[in-house]
Amino acid sequence: MPTVMWWCIGTAFAQLLIAGALLRAGRARPTKLAPSALALLRGGNRAAVTVALVALHQRGAVAAARRRTIRANGGPGATRDPLQRGVHASLHRAIGIGALVNRPRTRQAVDALRAELGLAGLLRSPGRWRAARMLLALVPVTPAAGLAVITLRGDATPLPYVLAAVTAPVAVLLWRVPPTTAEARRALAAERARHPLPAHRRAATGETGTAERIQLYVALYGDAALALFYPHFARDGGLLGGGRGNPDDGLPWKRVHAVPKLHLRAYRELGEGGDHGASCGGGGGD
């Protein structure tokens, strides 16, 4: 096998080894996770910002505005949560949640939360994760260049083809490694087991700590919990389904399966004069 092919194959395996090392997660340490942290592990930046908006809405600090946007409705209240304060500080005018997630103050607060989860061994470093994926994207290209050279030279040895074929499935497996660690996924599963989403909002309201419990439900179940507890705020503020709504029910077709039928039916009934959003005990009714 030509020397150039050995170099290409060796480089491809080196890329795989480095990518694997970058994707290794640190040792997880026990930590109590706030709802915003759980939401970030479950659904990324947007999910974490949604939980912060719910907490602010419960205190009357934010409200839905026109055209599925969110606006500030007073001060952030007595909160020391950096994400909530960052989100509220970003609401200089009514904006959609997609733009809100990318505001500098919001991104700064989310990045700080990501750093905390990284130190806890629950989230891979964004920089290391992106660097690993860049290396993995190069893995198929490197041996392909060598194969092109030996093909032009007329070398029919099967060994380089076999070695090149080995690198591709390994790269695919590493590419599928998520930013969250196995410990984070176990923590989410344990929280869902301890806190199943109730079938009716009355089952989670009227007791001490209701606001925090609802934030936890939104963190763990996303759209399903929003449609159950704050349907008007979620619909009018554009919080459901990634912001791309279907005119019939306000939910995108690809996400309808994520909302239990009972909650989806109650959400649809809002347009027919149904339940107009009783207070969920958090100080800012829907």
Q: Tens digits of per-residue pLDDT, 183-211?
A: 999 999 999 999 999 888 777 665 556 88
Side-chain half-sphere CA neighbours of 189 within 13 A: 7
Integer-rounded Cα Rg, in Å, for the chain is 24
Q: Is the pLDDT of residue 165 over 50?
A: yes
User: Which residues, including other chains, have CB under 8 Å from residue 281's CB and lie 6 or more apart?
Assistant: 205, 206, 207, 210, 211, 214
CA–chain centroid gap for 59, Å, is 24
- Tell me the C-alpha distance between 141 and 12, whole Å: 9
- The backbone region for 238, taken as left when phi is positive above 0, alpha when psi lies in -120 to 50, beta otherwise, is left
Grade residue 74 by pLDDT with cuts at 50, 70 and 90.
Answer: confident
105-109, long-range: CB < 8 A, 24+ apart: 106/49, 107/45, 109/82, 109/83, 109/85
Query: How confident is the model over 86-134, as pLDDT tens digits?
Result: 999 999 899 999 999 999 999 999 999 998 998 888 988 878 888 999 9
Pairing of strands 62-65, 69-72: antiparallel
| pTM (predicted TM-score) | 0.73
